[in-house]
Copies of this chain bind each other. A is one copy, B any other.
C-alpha cells in the first residue's frame, strides 16, 4: 500500500514516515507539490493515498489537489491544515480533498482517517487500526465513523481499548473508570450495554471474569 506524503516540515515528515512504515505502508515523501505532481504525471507513479499539507512553498495543497482532480485522479487525499494566526495567509479546503486533519493531530486519528479513506475506495488496509477504534474528543471513531459517547462510555471504551484482546475484570473497570466511587457492580453491565448499542457487538463477555474488546463479533 503506497502512500505519498507531501509536506515540507521535516519533523512531520519524519514522524509520518516512521509511523506509516511501522504500520506497513510504503511511504514516498515529497517536500513540494511540484515534485509530487511531476512524479505522478511525468513518471506515472501510482499511490493508494496522498497525505497533503495545505501550506506548501510554490503550489499549495489546494491547487495540487485541484490539479489531481482536474486530471481525473480519484486518489484519496487527506489534507493537513495548520491554523496559523496570520489572517493574510490563505487557508482553505478544496472540495476535492476527501478528509482533513488539523495540526497538531494525533497519530492514531490520522491512521484511522487514512484507513477510512482507503476503505471507502474499496482498498482494504491490511494493518487496520487495532479494532478499528480510536478515542476522540467527542467519543470515538469506529471504522472511520464518528460515534458520540458520554463521559462514562468513553472512559470505559478507553480502558477496554488499552487492554484490547485481554480480559478486563469488573473490579479493574470500576477502579479505573469509577475511581473507587461507591457504586454498584451493575453499573458496568449497563454501560457495556450502552456501548454495545453504539459501537456494535465488539465487547465480549467473559463469564465470571469481565469483558474483552474483540476484533469482530465471534459467532
Q: Nearest residue in B to A19 (C-beta to C-beta)? A: B90
Interface size class of A (residues with CB under 8 A): 35 or more
Q: Fill in one digit per residue for A90-111: 1 if any B CB lies within 8 Å of its CB, else 0.
A: 1111110000001000111001
Residue of A126, A163, A206 with most partner-chain B CB within 10 A: A126
- The B-contacting residues of A in range 93-144, CB under 8 angstroms, are 93-95, 102, 106-108, 111, 126-130, 137-138
Q: Are B209 and A137 in touch, CB under 8 angstroms? A: yes
A90 and B23 alpha carbons, distance in the complex (Å) = 8
Q: Are A127 and B88 in touch, CB under 8 angstroms? A: no
- Which residues of B sit under 8 angstroms from A127, Cβ to Cβ? 62, 66, 92-95
- Which residues of B sit under 8 angstroms from A164, Cβ to Cβ? 102
A130 and B102 alpha carbons, distance in the complex (Å) = 12
- The B-contacting residues of A in range 40-76, CB under 8 angstroms, are 60, 62-63, 66
